[in-house]
Amino acid sequence: MKKVYLMIMLILGFTISSCSSEQSLQEYYIASAENPNFMSFDLPSSLLDLEKSNLSNSEMEAVSSLKKLNVLAFQKKDTNEADYQAQKAAIKLILKDDDYSELMKINTAMGKATLQLKGDDDTIDELVIYGDNDEKGLILVRVLGDDMNPASFVQLIKAMEKSDFDGEGLEKLGDLLKG
């Protein structure tokens, strides 16, 4: 009984502290790197192997604006349900900030996801992809770059379709998604 009480107090304390401090997404990434339930890594844009593809000028411009992807993934297990719920609530609270504009919501058999932008209509500071599945866990991806704009993302997707990217280096993420 004491363990349940302690867990409830821990979650309540975390929720209250996260509400009052208005933690940024960058601060959340740094704090979560110490949590053993999270897997955190940065992917340079060069990992996508887009430079070798036969790209148009507009596609090359979109690729050159992309710098890196920050990935934070939480693998849910029976033993970390309380932490999963607390992390999920904390991320959603951060993404409700006025700095982020929701682009779209996606509901699939694999879970729910949202795409959000930070920036204005002409220049995007970052694109945030957040997804969760109550059986497998959650993933948070920050796409960072220079002078990114919404039209660039369409070009970037086209460029990725032309690339020889085979997923090398993403084995841990693949293992997480498999459960």
- The per-residue pLDDT of the chain, averaged, comes to 76
Residue 38 confidence class, pLDDT cut points 50, 70, 90: very high
User: Which residues, including other chains, have CB under 8 Å from residue 128's CB and lie 6 or more apart?
Assistant: 25, 95, 100, 114, 115, 116, 117, 118, 140, 141, 142, 143
User: Does residue 33 register a pLDDT over 70?
Assistant: yes
Whether 7 is in a domain gets the answer no
User: Does residue 9 register a pLDDT over 90?
Assistant: no
Please, what is the end-to-end C-alpha distance for the chain in angstroms? 30
Residue 46 is encoded by which pair of tokens? Answer: 């060069």
Residue 91: what are its φ and ψ, rounded to 5°? -65, -45
Whether 151 is in a domain gets the answer yes
- At 97 the pLDDT is 86
Whether 88 is in a domain gets the answer yes
- At 106 the pLDDT is 86
- At 66 the pLDDT is 76
Bridging pattern class, strands 66-75 and 100-108: unpaired
Residue 145 has a CB neighbour count (10 Å cut-off) of 21
Whether 18 is in a domain gets the answer no
- At 109 the pLDDT is 79
- At 131 the pLDDT is 93
Whether 5 is in a domain gets the answer no
- At 11 the pLDDT is 61
Q: For the CA atoms of 116, 48, 46, 68, what is the dihedral angle to 10 degrees?
A: 20
- At 169 the pLDDT is 47
Q: Which of 146, 132, 126 is nearest to 26 (CA)?
A: 126
* Residue-wise DSSP of 39-86: EEEEEEGGGG--TTS---HHHHHHHHHEEEEEEEEEE--GGGHHHHHH
Q: Which of 129, 15, 18, 16 is nearest to 72 (CA)?
A: 129
Q: Percent of the chain beyond pLDDT 70?
A: 64
- At 76 the pLDDT is 93
- At 20 the pLDDT is 46
Whether 12 is in a domain gets the answer no
Q: Could you report the per-residue pLDDT of 113-152, keeping only the tens digit for each?
A: 998 888 776 778 788 999 999 999 999 999 887 777 766 6
User: Does residue 29 register a pLDDT over 60?
Assistant: yes
Q: Could you report the per-residue pLDDT of 62-103, keeping only the tens digit for each?
A: 777 778 889 999 999 999 999 999 999 999 999 998 888 888
Number of domains in the chain: 1
Whether 10 is in a domain gets the answer no
Whether 3 is in a domain gets the answer no
Containing structural domain, residue 120 = 24-178
